[in-house]
């Protein structure tokens, strides 16, 4: 399979990650039509159409931190709308879909329903290939009303939905599963028309969907990265990545070593050897090619050390947003995601 030489290239999908200040309205600055926005805010809010573009709001910014917003743009004309409580926009090549699940005593059944509705909607509009999903989960490592950790509770419902839709969506995309600062689940994703995606695993890590049951009754449903073919070189969406080797957390209680191991995991994931295994041509990437970076840090006092390491590794011009939120295992101190283009 070649992803470099097809003549008929679809228009690209671009994103910006911007810090929000009141003096700067980022949405008006850049060219293109807005497909979707993810606002990392100081309070939770329902998804909404804002200036006719869908926006997910998630409570990830506390105290004195500056809110951030990720904006997905396309060159194609966009049509936006609602699907019950969900908002969406599509450009004929890409779909952005966002929905919020209010706090539940037990999440499983409502997560399954939410995901099934989303998958049905996506399939019916012809976006057969999932590209990138974000699962932003309040109280992610706290117990639900039955004493089950909310992340594990969530994973059961998500897994059941993907099982029910496995004939339509046989492959899992890149994803993030991370904590937020308020109860409830914020979900959004990007899907594409057929034939442009390749989903990748990491040779250093057990596929998440094969994690053993000691990490939860149903394994997490995601791939380590998804390549989306497009203009020029395409985009490689890197899932939330942590200091996991095989299926085990490495460097418990050492945030600096967890950060370095996470960066090494990303380096191998996006490298030419790994891309070659999946028939994704081109030179491959290194961790320094990661852009639109989000760094999630569990403990506020760890932010400076994580920031220092990231500042050394990533080029100065790259946008990096730091969020002080829980990670999905109590012993994971840091998680990093981004996009290589
Ligand atoms: C891990 O590698 C860390 O449940 O959607 C990363 C990315 C993680 C996505 C998800 C979870 C998810 O298992 C956690």
Q: What is the whole-number distance in angstroms between the Cα of residue 335 and the centre of ligand 1?
A: 9
- Of all residues in the chain, the percent with pLDDT exceeding 70 is 93
Return the pLDDT at 341.
87
162 lines ligand 1 (CB under 6 A): no
Pull the structure tokens for residue 134.
């974000």
Asked whether the predicted pLDDT for residue 5 surpasses 70, the reply is: no
Return the pLDDT at 17.
80
What's the average model confidence in pLDDT over 129-155? 98
- Contact (CB, 8 A) for 44 and 182: yes
- Contact (CB, 8 A) for 3 and 234: yes
Return the pLDDT at 19.
75
Please give the Cα distance from 134 to 99 (Å, whole number): 11
172 lines ligand 1 (CB under 6 A): no
Return the pLDDT at 31.
76
Return the pLDDT at 15.
85
Asked whether the predicted pLDDT for residue 315 surpasses 70, the reply is: yes
Instruction: Give the predicted TM-score (pTM) of the model.
Output: 0.94
- State the catalytic residue, choosing from 70, 160, 335, 337: 335
Q: Which helix (H) or strand (E) holds 121?
A: helix 108-124
Say if strands 33-41 and 53-59 run parallel, antiparallel, or are unpaired: parallel
Q: Domain spanning 13-340 has what CATH number? A: 3.30.1330.40
Higher pLDDT, 34 or 66: 34
Asked whether the predicted pLDDT for residue 2 surpasses 50, the reply is: no
Return the pLDDT at 63.
79
Return the pLDDT at 8.
56
Please count the other Cβ atoms lying within 10 Å of the Cβ belonging to residue 201.
18
Q: What is the whole-number distance in angstroms between the Cα of residue 305 and the centre of ligand 1?
A: 22
Return the pLDDT at 25.
52
Residue nearest to atom 9 of ligand 1 (CA): 176
Residue nearest to atom 11 of ligand 1 (CA): 177
- What pLDDT band is residue 89 in, cutting at 50, 70 and 90? very high
Q: What is the whole-number distance in angstroms between the Cα of residue 23 and the centre of ligand 1?
A: 35
Return the pLDDT at 9.
62
Instruction: Of 63-67, 166-170, 253-257, 290-294, give the lowest mean pLDDT range.
Output: 63-67
Please count the other Cβ atoms lying within 10 Å of the Cβ belonging to residue 116.
16
Please count the other Cβ atoms lying within 10 Å of the Cβ belonging to residue 63.
8
Return the pLDDT at 3.
44
Asked whether the predicted pLDDT for residue 304 surpasses 90, the reply is: yes
In the annotation, is 232 catalytic?
no
Q: Where are the domains of the chain?
A: 13-340
What's the average model confidence in pLDDT over 102-114? 98
CA distances from 336 to 16, 283, 339 (A): 17, 23, 11
Q: What is the pLDDT of residues 214-271, one digit of tens each?
A: 999 999 999 999 999 987 668 999 999 999 999 999 999 999 999 999 999 999 999 9
What's the average model confidence in pLDDT over 117-145? 98
Return the pLDDT at 141.
97
Please give the Cα distance from 258 to 271 (Å, whole number): 20
């Amino acid at each position: 399979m070649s992803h470099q030489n097809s003549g008929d290239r679809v228009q690209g999908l671009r994103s910006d990650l911007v810090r929000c200040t009141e003096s700067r309205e980022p949405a008006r600055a850049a060219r293109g039509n807005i497909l979707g926005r993810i606002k990392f805010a100081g309070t939770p809010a329902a998804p909404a159409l804002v200036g006719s573009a869908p926006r997910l709001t998630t409570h990830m910014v506390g105290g004195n931190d500056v809110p951030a917003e990720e904006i997905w743009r396309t060159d194609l004309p966009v049509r936006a709308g609602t699907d019950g409580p969900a908002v969406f926009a599509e450009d004929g090549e890409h779909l952005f879909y966002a929905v919020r699940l209010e706090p539940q005593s037990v999440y499983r059944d409502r997560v399954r329903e939410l995901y099934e509705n989303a998958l049905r909607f996506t399939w019916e509009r012809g976006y057969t290939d999932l590209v990138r999903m974000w699962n932003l989960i309040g109280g992610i490592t706290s117990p639900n009303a039955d004493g089950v950790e909310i992340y594990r509770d969530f994973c059961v419902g998500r897994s059941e939905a993907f099982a029910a839709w496995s004939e339509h969506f046989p492959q899992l995309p890149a994803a993030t599963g991370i904590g937020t600062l308020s109860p409830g689940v914020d979900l959004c994703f990007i899907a594409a028309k057929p034939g442009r995606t390749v989903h990748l695993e990491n040779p250093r890590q057990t596929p998440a969907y094969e994690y053993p049951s000691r990490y939860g009754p149903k394994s997490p449903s995601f791939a380590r990265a998804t390549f989306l073919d497009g203009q020029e070189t395409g985009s490689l969406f890197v899932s939330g990545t942590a200091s996991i080797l095989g299926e085990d957390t490495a460097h418990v209680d050492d945030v600096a070593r967890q950060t370095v191991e996470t960066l090494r995991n990303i380096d191998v994931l996006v490298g030419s050897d790994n891309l070659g295994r999946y028939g994704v041509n081109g030179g491959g990437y290194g961790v320094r090619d990661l852009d639109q970076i989000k760094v999630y840090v569990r403990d506020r006092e760890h932010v400076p050390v994580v920031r220092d390491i990231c500042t050394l590794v990533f080029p100065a011009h790259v946008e990096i947003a730091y969020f002080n939120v829980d990670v999905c295992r109590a012993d994971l101190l840091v998680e990093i995601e981004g996009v290589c283009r």
